[in-house]
Amino acid sequence: MTGCRPARLVSSRVVPLLGVVALTACAPGTDSAVGLAAPAGLATPVATAAPAAPKAGASAAATHKATMRKKAPVVVGFGDSVPAGGGHCSCTNFVTAYGNLIATHTGIKPTVDNFAVSGSTSADLVDQMTDSAVRAAVAGASTVLIMTGANDYDDAFDEVSIGVDPTEAYPQVATAVEDNVVTVIGKIRALNRTANVVVLDYWASMEDGAVAENDYDAPTMAASISCTASTNTALTLAAKATGSTYVSTYTAFKGSNGSKDDTALLMPDGDHPNPTGHQVIAAAIAAVYPSG
């Protein structure tokens, strides 16, 4: 990032949105946090008898073999510097941290493929979906995590910071973010109709916490708050339009009314999560999909 902001490439703060919640206004056959309906066109699974308990004296190797026959979850991550673990964090990013929580919950270590790229925009993510390695990973995924859109607002934020009306600068960007995320999810669904698709919002699109308080004057702070609101609204609409699950890092970091100070969850740049922040995001996802 440039201008008033450190080069972070993604974050957000704003009007509280939907907390760690799955949007339930989904079309039939789509994901929701409370139970997953069978995807359209797929038969409802038929109940089968539980596997017989191992005979007395069964070897540990046989038990291990039976466990390994269970299909391991596959987590795929997309987005900008936040899921990429940017900001010189040198820590476990939330995509990998979520995979670790799945392993803790299930005893099965998932495969984690993280395609997040620092500095990327939602349009970059659309282009990324043509990559053969990306498509192969998506096709085998059990859960796909998407956090993108904040970098799309860089220029508009600069304009609003110097006096341009946010209602003139932000709506066009919001439409592009929403459309791009809907397009990406459509491509994911075409490759894999059974994966859980999770759209994450931002606690702040620009700087936040004590750093923002120090760096931003009143107009710039107002521009940042309205920018986060615009970004998160676009992501909310994209999740709703596609029947995807929506997880709010805004609520996880700042509380449902946005009054909590999230400084302790941020790197010194005020723009990226620190190790604790990444763990908080991972836990918010695991609260919805603990088994991947």
| Phi, psi of 129, deg, nearest 5 | -70, -5
Q: What is the mean pLDDT of residues 222-227?
A: 98
SS3 of 163, please? Answer: coil
Q: Show the tokens assigned to 173.
A: 């960007």
Question: How confident is the model at residue 70, as a pLDDT?
Answer: 62
Question: How confident is the model at residue 59, as a pLDDT?
Answer: 52
Has residue 61 been placed in a domain?
no
Q: State the residue range of the domain holding 177.
A: 20-32+70-286
Question: How confident is the model at residue 71, as a pLDDT?
Answer: 81
- The amino acid sitting at 243 is G
Q: Taking 80 as the threshold, does the pLDDT of residue 62 lie above it?
A: no
Number of alpha carbons in the 13 Å side-chain half-sphere of residue 226: 22
Has residue 275 been placed in a domain?
yes
- Nearest CA to 27 among 43, 19, 38? 38
pLDDT digits (tens, 9 = 90+) for 109-133: 999 999 999 999 999 999 999 999 9
Has residue 58 been placed in a domain?
no
Q: Taking 50 as the threshold, does the pLDDT of residue 56 lie above it?
A: no
Has residue 38 been placed in a domain?
no
C-alpha–C-alpha distance, residues 13 and 5, integer Å: 14
Say if CB 115 and CB 148 are below 8 A apart: no
Residue 125: Cβ-neighbour burial (10 angstroms; 0-12, 13-18, 19+): buried
CATH number at residue 78: 3.40.50.1110
pLDDT digits (tens, 9 = 90+) for 225-274: 999 999 999 999 999 999 999 999 999 999 989 999 999 999 999 999 99
Has residue 2 been placed in a domain?
no
Q: What is the mean pLDDT of residues 84-110?
A: 96
Q: Taking 50 as the threshold, does the pLDDT of residue 45 lie above it?
A: no
Q: What is the mean pLDDT of residues 51-77?
A: 58
Least confident of 47-61, 136-150, 231-245: 47-61
Count of domains forming the chain: 1
Has residue 45 been placed in a domain?
no
Say if CB 21 and CB 246 are below 8 A apart: yes
In the chain, pLDDT over 90 holds for what percent of residues?
A: 74
> Which of the pair, 165 or 69, is modelled with greater confidence?
165
pLDDT digits (tens, 9 = 90+) for 194-215: 999 999 999 999 999 999 999 9
Has residue 10 been placed in a domain?
no
In the chain, pLDDT over 70 holds for what percent of residues?
A: 76
Least confident of 13-27, 37-51, 86-100, 276-290: 37-51
pLDDT digits (tens, 9 = 90+) for 2-44: 333 433 333 333 333 334 444 433 333 344 333 333 333 323 3
Number of Cβ within 10 Å of residue 34's Cβ equals: 8
Has residue 262 been placed in a domain?
yes
Least confident of 45-49, 69-73, 244-248, 249-253: 45-49
